[in-house]
């Protein structure tokens, strides 16, 4: 295979596309970052938090390389691992990087290329390595509280003593500073979020250092509180996707960054009474015209969608018929007489078919869909200010 995921948009657009394509709108990313900043600014605090743009899982499936130009106004970028941090440096990112799940040795932290470097500290092994650092290295560290998520971090009992050890390293000038962090388990639920914040506040009362607790859901559901933080960490909202179960990104002023499209490669008649697809789950009630679309669950389109899941053809709604298979989706062309081989079908994204709708139909969350678009789908960068009607 000679094509890579960075083939230029025009090359592929001019050729007859045979596969699914994911357009990544860099202007939408920039807009969403700006919108989050505006939300925090208008929440009326004296100083507003700095924003970590979270790009783990290759920018939630959007590709770090493509989203980076839209993130130039971010204060820092958050990733999971040191190799991802090196990737950002080689793409020219000079501002701070937060590594949220770093496995490192003392020696790993001696490379000046990595700095300014922030590390989330959530286990004893990391602290032992930090204790071996010299004054020249000086990462900033964020001590993680386990909270009720319990994926990583220190509990109520251990947090204080560990904090004491790290403060010693700050005083010895081995660390650039120490902050406090947690990641909510139930940020979408106002009552639970309030409870999680209260526990955190109790634990950190009196401890010096900045705080970093808010993710997209917490930030958007209660900007007034989030605006009082020192740093926030946002992922999903930057991609234009609502972190709440009951809304879509555009209702929060966000623009979807990913549009997934695939071409119709064949049109067929389906006579009345005939069955269609694996499991023969669809039966034509009348003579129908159907289109076979080159996208399936091997591209990351969910097989679990419910009946009549929508797609867009030339900007108008149609629906999926029968089961999604590995490489093929079948769509209803009854009301789309001009659609034929080569017509692009929008499966989710900017054309007015929110990924949130497809996720709901599939019984999952939008993040699983965008992060689940597989490697065989080329990501094509576009820059369409004001939102692409057609990418």
Ligand X SMILES: *Cc1c(COP(=O)(O)O)cnc(C)c1O
Question: Which residues are catalytic, by number?
Answer: 56, 278
CB 56, min distance to ligand X, A: 6
Q: Is 24 in the site for ligand X (CB under 6 A)?
A: no
- CA dist 62 and 58 (Å) reads 6
Window of 1-9, 213-221, 294-302, 353-361 that interacts with ligand X by CB under 6 A: 213-221
Q: 56 vs 289, which CB is nearer to ligand X?
A: 56
* Nearest-CB residue for ligand X: 235
Q: Is 362 in the site for ligand X (CB under 6 A)?
A: no
Tokens found for residue 72: 């130039």
DSSP state of 69: G
Q: Is 213 in the site for ligand X (CB under 6 A)?
A: no
Q: Is 243 in the site for ligand X (CB under 6 A)?
A: yes
Q: Is 313 in the site for ligand X (CB under 6 A)?
A: no
Tell me which residue of 71, 84, 67, 83 sits closest to 379, measured CA to CA: 67
Q: Is the dihedral of CA 275, 300, 239, 225 positive or negative?
A: positive
Please state the φ and ψ torsions of residue 255, each to the nearest 5 degrees. -115, 130
Q: Which of 233, 265, 323, 360 binds ligand X (CB under 6 A)?
A: 233
Q: Which of 32, 35, 215, 261 binds ligand X (CB under 6 A)?
A: 215
**239 within 8 A of 59, measured Cβ to Cβ:** yes
Q: Is 182 in the site for ligand X (CB under 6 A)?
A: no
Window of 235-243, 269-277, 287-295, 316-324 that interacts with ligand X by CB under 6 A: 235-243
- Site mask, ligand X, residues 87-126, x = CB under 6 A? -------------x--------------------------
Pairing assessment for the beta strands 316-321 and 329-332 based on DSSP bridges: antiparallel
**86 within 8 A of 106, measured Cβ to Cβ:** no
CA dihedral 263, 267, 272, 278 (to 10 degrees): -50
CA dihedral 82, 88, 90, 91 (to 10 degrees): 170
Binders of ligand X among residues 59 to 88 (CB under 6 A) are none
**100 within 8 A of 78, measured Cβ to Cβ:** yes
Q: Which of 32, 213, 216, 259 binds ligand X (CB under 6 A)?
A: 216
Helix (H, G, I), strand (E, B) or coil at 45: coil
Q: Is 32 in the site for ligand X (CB under 6 A)?
A: no
Q: 336 vs 360, which CB is nearer to ligand X?
A: 360
Which residues of the shown chain bind ligand X in the complex (CB under 6 A)? 54, 56, 100, 183, 215-217, 233-236, 243
């Amino acid at each position: 295979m000679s094509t890579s995921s960075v083939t230029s948009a025009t090359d592929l657009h001019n050729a007859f596309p045979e596969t699914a394509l994911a357009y990544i709108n860099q202007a939408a990313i920039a807009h969403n970052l700006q919108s989050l900043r505006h939300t925090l600014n208008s929440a009326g605090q004296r100083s507003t938090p700095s924003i970590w743009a979270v790009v783990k899982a290759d920018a939630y499936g959007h590709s770090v390389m493509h989203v980076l130009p839209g993130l130039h106004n971010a204060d820092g970028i958050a990733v999971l691992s040191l190799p991802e941090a090196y990737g950002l440096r080689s793409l020219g990112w000079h501002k701070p990087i937060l590594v949220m799940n770093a496995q490192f040795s003392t020696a790993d932290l001696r490379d000046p290329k990595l700095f300014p470097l922030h590390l989330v500290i959530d286990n004893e092994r990391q602290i032992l390595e930090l204790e071996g650092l010299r004054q020249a290295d000086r990462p900033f560290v964020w001590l993680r509280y386990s909270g009720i998520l319990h994926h990583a971090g220190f509990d109520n009992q251990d947090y204080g003593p560990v904090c004491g050890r790290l403060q010693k390293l700050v005083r010895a000038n081995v660390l650039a500073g120490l902050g406090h962090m947690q990641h909510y388990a139930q940020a979408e639920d106002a009552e639970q979020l309030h409870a999680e914040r209260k526990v955190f506040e109790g634990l950190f009362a009196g401890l010096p250092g900045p705080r970093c607790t808010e993710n997209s859901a917490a930030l958007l559901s209660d900007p007034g509180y989030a605006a009082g933080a020192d740093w926030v960490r946002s992922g999903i909202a930057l991609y234009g996707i609502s972190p709440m179960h009951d809304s879509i990104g555009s209702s929060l002023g966000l623009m979807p960054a990913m549009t997934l499209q695939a071409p119709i490669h064949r049109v067929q008649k389906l006579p009345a009474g005939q069955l269609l697809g694996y499991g023969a789950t669809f039966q034509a009630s009348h003579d129908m015209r159907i289109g076979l679309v080159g996208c399936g669950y091997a591209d990351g389109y969910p097989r679990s969608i419910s009946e009549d899941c929508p797609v867009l053809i030339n900007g108008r709604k149609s629906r999926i018929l029968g089961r999604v298979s590995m490489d093929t989706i079948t769509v209803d062309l009854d009301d789309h007489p001009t659609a034929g081989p080569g017509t692009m079908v929008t499966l989710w994204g900017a054309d007015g078919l929110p990924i949130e709708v497809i996720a709901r139909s599939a019984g999952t969350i939008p993040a699983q869909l965008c992060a689940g678009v597989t490697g065989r789908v080329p990501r094509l960068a576009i820059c369409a200010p004001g939102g692409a009607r057609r990418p």
